[in-house]
Structure 1
Amino acid sequence: MAIYREKDIFERRNAANEAKKALLERFKTRPAADDPAVLARQAERQAILAARAEREAEKAKLKQEKLAREAAERAAREAEAERARLVAEAKAAEEAKLRESEENERIARLLADEAERKAKRDARYAARKSRTGRTPPGFTAR
Structure 2
Amino acid sequence: MSSYKDPSFQDRVGRALEAKRKALDALRSKAPVDEKVVAERQAVRARREAAEAEKREAKKAAESAAKEARALKAAEKAASIPAPPTEADRKAARDARYAARKSRK
Judged with a 3 Å threshold, the aligned counterparts in structure 2 of structure 1 residues 78 and 8 are, in CA distance, closer, same or farther, namely closer
2: distance between equivalents of 1:80 and 1:69? 16
Amino acid aligned to 1:96: R
TM-score, with structure 2 as normaliser: 0.64
Provide Cα deviations, 1:22-69, integer angstroms capped at 9, x if missing partner.
24322564745x622222222222112111110110011101111111
Between Structure 1 and Structure 2, whose CA radius of gyration is higher?
1
**Distance of aligned partners of 1:71 and 1:11 in 2 relative to their CA distance in 1, 3 Å threshold:** closer
Name the counterpart of 2:40: 40
Cα deviation per residue 1:74-109 (whole Å; 9 max; x = unaligned)? Answer: 1110010036x56xxx6x666423222145558xx7
Unaligned runs of 5+ in 1: 110-142
> Which residue type is aligned with residue 96 of structure 2?
L
TM-score when normalising by structure 1: 0.51
State the superposition RMSD in angstroms: 3.6
Aligned residues: 100
Distance 1:97 1:47, change over 3 A: same
Identity of matched residues, %: 23
